[in-house]
Chains A and B, each alone.
Chain A
Amino acid sequence: MIELDETDRLILRELVEDATQSASALGRKLGLSQPATWRRVRRLYDTGVIKGQRLDLDRERLGFGVSVFLGVKLATKGRVSLEDFERAVSAIPEVQSVEHILGVFDYRLRVVARDISDFERVLRRRIMTLPGVGDVEANVLLSEERRPGPIG
Chain B
Amino acid sequence: MLDDTDRRILRHYQHDPALGLTDLADAAGVTANTCARRLERLRTGGVILGNRAVIDWARLGYEVEVSLRAQLDKTNPRAFDEFTAAAREVPEVIEIQTFLGRVDLRLYVIARDMAHYQHIYRSAILTLPHITEIEALMHMARIKSDEGLPL
Contacts and interface: CB of A to CB of B under 8 A. Distances in A.
A complexed with B: yes
A102 B52 contact: no
Given A17-B52, A53-B52, A54-B17, A140 B135 contact: no
A82 to B, nearest CB: 9
B93 to A, nearest CB: 6
B143 A55 contact: no
B56 interface: yes
* Pairs of residues from A and B, 3 with the lowest C-beta to C-beta distance, nearest first: A139-B101, A103-B137, A15-B53
Contacts of A17: 50, 52
Nearest to A19: B53
Nearest to A149: B94
Given A100-B143, A147-B95, 12 more contacts: A17-B52, A55-B51, A58-B46, A98-B143, A99-B140, A104-B135, A108-B137, A112-B149, A142-B97, A143-B98, A145-B95, A152-B91
B98 A142 contact: yes
18 contacts: A4-B60, A49-B60, A52-B53, A56-B50, A57-B14, A86-B143, A96-B147, A99-B143, A101-B67, A101-B140, A139-B102, A139-B103, A141-B98, A142-B98, A147-B91, A147-B94, A147-B95, A152-B91
Contacts of A150: 62, 91-92, 110
Contact of B48 (A55, A110, A137): A55
B14 A149 contact: no
Given A112-B149, A142-B99, A144-B96, A52 B54 contact: yes
Interface string B44-82: 011111111111110111100001000000000000000
Given A62-B2, A97-B144, A57 B99 contact: no
Contact of B140 (A89, A102, A138, A143): A102
Nearest to B19: A53
Contacts of B88: 145, 147
Interface of A: 1-2, 4, 12, 15-20, 44, 47-59, 61-62, 64, 69, 86, 89-90, 93-105, 107-108, 110, 112, 137-152
For chain B, which range describes its interface: under 10, 10 to 19, 20 to 34, or 35 or more residues?
35 or more
B13 interface: yes
B56 A51 contact: yes
B145 A97 contact: yes
Nearest to B100: A140
Contacts of B150: 93-94, 112
* Interface core residue of A89, A141, A148, A150 (most chain B CB under 10 Å): A150
Given A69-B99, A144-B95, A101 B53 contact: no
Contact of A51 (B14, B54, B96, B138): B54
A66 B18 CA distance: 27
